Amino acid sequence: MKKFLVLLWILLLTTPLLLASQMYVVGEVFTQTWCGYCPAARSALLQMYNQSETFPYFIPLIWQGNGTHVSPNYSSRASLYGVGGIPHGQWGGTIPVVGGGTGVYSSYVNAHNQIVNLNSPIEIDFSLGISENQLVLEAVTTLTGDITTTNNRIQYILTYDLINEMGADYFASVKSYHQEDYPLNTTGETAEFSHAFPIDPSWDLYKVKGIVIIQNITNGNAPIHQAAMASFEGLTPMFSSNVTQGPASLFVQFYDNSLPAQNITSWEWDLNGDGSIDSTDENPSYTYTEIGAYDVTLIVSDGTDVVEITIEDYITVTESNDISGNISGTWHYDNGPYDVSGDIFIPEDSFLIIEPGVEIIVDNSEIIVEGYIYADAEDDEPIIFTSDTTWKGLRLNNSQIQNTLINCEFNNANQTALIINDSVVNIVGNTFYENSGSTNPGALKITNSDDIVLKNNIFANNLSTNGPAAVEINASSFNVENNLFVNNTGYIGSSFAVRSGSAITFTNNSVAHNEFMSSNGYHIFNHNSYLQIRNSIIVGESRLISNFTGAATIAEYSNISNGYSGGGNIDVDPMFETPSEGIGIDFDGLGAVWYLSEESPCVDTGNPDDTYNDPEDPYNPGFAKFPARGTIRNDMGTYGGSGTSFWVSVDEETIIPHPETDNRIVVYPNPFNPSVSISLDNIEYSKGNPVTLKVYNTKGQIVRTLLNNVMTEQTIFVWNGHDENNRLLPSGIYFIGFVSGNVNSNQKVLLLK
């Protein structure tokens, strides 16, 4: 059976009211999993702790060496005493108690009584406080006698749940530890000592105790000269936030952590340091738009007492260069380019909205998203992720809000441009070029993610030295539509790999001029997965599609070199308009033209079902069709089928009309939680026209109708984030759409929960 050690300290508490001669007790006990948490030893400690009159200054400390809650510095504490038998107790650094059972209580009391009557040469005035969301232990020590030992240390400790409400695993458990030299040794000397520990946001701080110990650390006999303990009492204001710095517009979500939480009745926040109250919410948010440092003040009341805390320069809004650390907010085109000098992290309760045209230059770093990213440049200048040298890519990890990457460019990443793990994301109309990886693909890797939209993307000139070149999908199921894979070079796969029980539908994609370096490579690599290919073009000299370890591939109405069984399949030259001059990354796939020529045998030969028809709209014929040529039957390849509607028209002078207006509805706050106000005051519309006001999701579906073609003189409306059935919608982007007469306006809002 797996074993672990539990190290236990028992201390006698000092306070300024005690006599300087009072000596305090320290004991450490080790146990293993075969005896649980050594119930007899723990029971004895609890019994002593609960007898406050008999043991008024008794402090139990449990050090755990294995299992769920491992105490820091466990090994060094155990080796200090040369622990042998289990359980092993070491009281006051000098008295060992080995063994347990029913007699352990009397053994512990006996050891305690031998130490408690000794004199201490030190007085300690000790406190536990909060500063900038850290727990600060401060000790003022005064020598009332000489200390003759050398190699002395002052040790700072945090324990959690000393009051035993969490059970054996947490009782007096040591959670934080730090030590430093203690230089005093002569009667009359005094000095101040302090150390700060970061606050664990999961803690109930009324279950946290601060402890300080002054001890000689000579192995085998390490006497403790004095100790003290402190805890929180009364009304204590404190707060935290998702981020504390970043470029404008910096979105900050604040959290009240004041104690006792259940007693607080009101909150007042000055969030920008101007002396006025900005919010009375318990957990407000604020967007900082101007560069500078901002004080934050929180005033709380329990109905009787009113206390406040101010942290100076708590929020710092920076320039758009030298960006690193936690990030939240909106990156604007006017503030770009954004230079990322270190890893940036979008926490679970944060977001990053990137406006069209923004260029993000990353230097040997990565962007990690656990919250939410929205980068939508559809019908506008692309959003660019690149590097002057190389960068490590964009990572989405367990991000369950609908992330959006539309019309972005990913370039120069050397550890895969985009990695998605257990996340929800729309990947539409992006360009991945000249990225590289080793065992991972150069462009895109998706794992354990079913809620993926992957369509209308270009993957060109990407490299993997030991994996698939462009895209790898693992343990995921979704559709792959209207993508272009050209001039990529990989080891086992030249362009696309499906693995680990995935189920992928591969529709209207083009795979051409790619190369693989391994003699066992393929252009499409299918391993232990189900892959259905339809209406696609897959061309190469040999080894087009693999099927390994139970993999199954079904193809129909596709142009596949060397032939492939299936209804409607052909094996011919697809006749691209102007393809690259050769295969692999040495030839420019991005600059080539991969439309089908007028004579292409892939025109009008895709699946004839109406579901796959090409767009009929003459203003948006798609790359494959000219308005005067062909029918609406699906063309094979990237620029055919219903999914081609996203692509820009062949005729670059063709303009697709869109309703335009200079008027904009005003929404505030944005992002919002729990409700957003919608103001029509800035809209110039005829009061004699009926008004329609609706909320849409990112798929264009109506989720809430606020007004439906009705007359109104009201100009302010509130949406509470609920749908038509009064169910709270998930976090994400929504659109407020306004129509009245010839005025059509919309605004994007972000709901955060």
* pLDDT over threshold 80, residue 659: no
Please tell me the predicted confidence (pLDDT) of residue 190. Answer: 96
SS3 call for 359: strand
Cα 146 off chain centre by: 53
Helices and strands per DSSP (H, E), number in the chain: 3, 60
Answer for the pair 352, 251: CB distance below 8 angstroms, yes or no: no
Least confident of 190-194, 422-426, 467-471, 618-622: 618-622
Question: Does residue 514 have a pLDDT over 70?
Answer: yes
Summarize the confidence of residues 731-744 as an average pLDDT: 81
Residue 495: per-residue pLDDT: 92
State the Cα torsion 118-120-123-128 to the nearest 10°.
-70
Q: What is the pLDDT of residue 40?
A: 77
Q: Is the pLDDT of residue 10 over 90?
A: no
pLDDT band at 631 (very low <50, low <70, confident <90, very high): low
Q: What is the pLDDT of residues 533-587, one digit of tens each?
A: 999 999 998 899 999 998 999 999 999 999 999 999 999 999 999 999 999 999 9
Tell me what pLDDT residue 655 has: 28
Does residue 559 contact residue 571 with C-beta atoms inside 8 Å? yes
Decide if 239-317 and 666-751 have a common fold. yes
Looking at domain 6-231, its CATH class is mainly beta
Percentage of the chain exceeding pLDDT 90: 53
User: In this model, does residue 632 exceed pLDDT 90?
Assistant: no
Least confident of 105-114, 200-209, 452-461: 200-209
CATH 3.90.1150.10 correct for 666-751: no
398: its two tokens: 């367990």
Residue-wise pLDDT tens digits, 148-178 = 999 999 999 998 887 666 555 567 788 899 9
Q: Give 50 or 664, the one with higher predicted confidence.
A: 50
Q: In whole angstroms, give the CA distance from residue 24 to residue 136.
A: 23
Burial zone of 67 (CB within 10 Å; 0-12 exposed, 13-18 middle, 19+ buried): middle
Which pLDDT tens digit goes with each residue over 428-448? 999 999 999 999 999 999 999
234 pLDDT band, cuts 50/70/90, is: confident
- Is 752's pLDDT higher than 80? no
Looking at this protein, which amino acid is placed at residue 702?
Answer: I
Cα(164)–Cα(170) distance, rounded to whole angstroms?
Answer: 7
Model pLDDT, residue 648: 41
How many Cβ atoms from other residues are within 10 Å of residue 476's Cβ?
23
Mean pLDDT across the stretch 690-710?
Answer: 87
- Could you tell me which of 77, 24, 74 has the C-alpha nearest to residue 219? 77
pLDDT (tens digit per residue) in 454-471: 999 999 999 999 999 999
Q: Taking the domains of the chain in order of start, what are their residue ranges?
A: 6-231, 239-317, 666-751
Kindly tell me if the per-residue pLDDT of 630 is higher than 70: no
Mean pLDDT across the stretch 230-246?
87
pLDDT in tens, 242-252: 999 999 999 99
Rounded Cα distance, 684 and 743, in Å:
8
From CA 101, how far away is CA 401, in angstroms rounded?
Answer: 54
Report the 3 state secondary structure along 451-490. Answer: CEEEECCEEECCEECCCECCEEEECCEEEEECCEEECCEE
Looking at the domain 239-317, which fold is it? Immunoglobulin-like (2.60.40)
Assigned token pair, 329 = 């907010």
Query: What pLDDT shows up at residue 56?
Result: 78
For residues 283-302, give the mean pLDDT. Answer: 94
Helix (H) or strand (E) holding 111: helix 104-116
Instruction: Characterise 389 by phi-psi region: left (phi > 0), alpha (psi -120 to 50), beta (else).
Output: alpha
pLDDT at 165: 64
pLDDT of residue 330: 92
Quick check: 735 pLDDT over 50? yes
* Dihedral, 428, 433, 437, 441 alpha carbons, nearest 10: 40
Long-range residue pairs from 563-569, CB within 8 A, at least 24 positions apart, any chain: 568/605, 568/606, 568/607
**Is the pLDDT assigned to residue 590 strictly greater than 50?**
yes
**What is the pTM (predicted TM-score) of this model?**
0.74
Classify burial at 201, counting beta carbons within 10 Å of its beta carbon; exposed 0-12, middle 13-18, buried 19 or more. Answer: exposed
pLDDT the model gives residue 111? 85
Reduce the DSSP state of residue 309 to 3 states and report it: strand
Question: For 123-137, 331-345, 580-594, 663-677, which range has the lowest pLDDT when averaged over its residues?
Answer: 663-677
Is the model's pLDDT at 302 over the cut of 50? yes
- 8 pLDDT tier (thresholds 50, 70, 90): very low
Average pLDDT, the chain: 85
Amino acid 28: pLDDT: 64
- Comparison of pLDDT for 618 and 165, the residue scoring more: 165
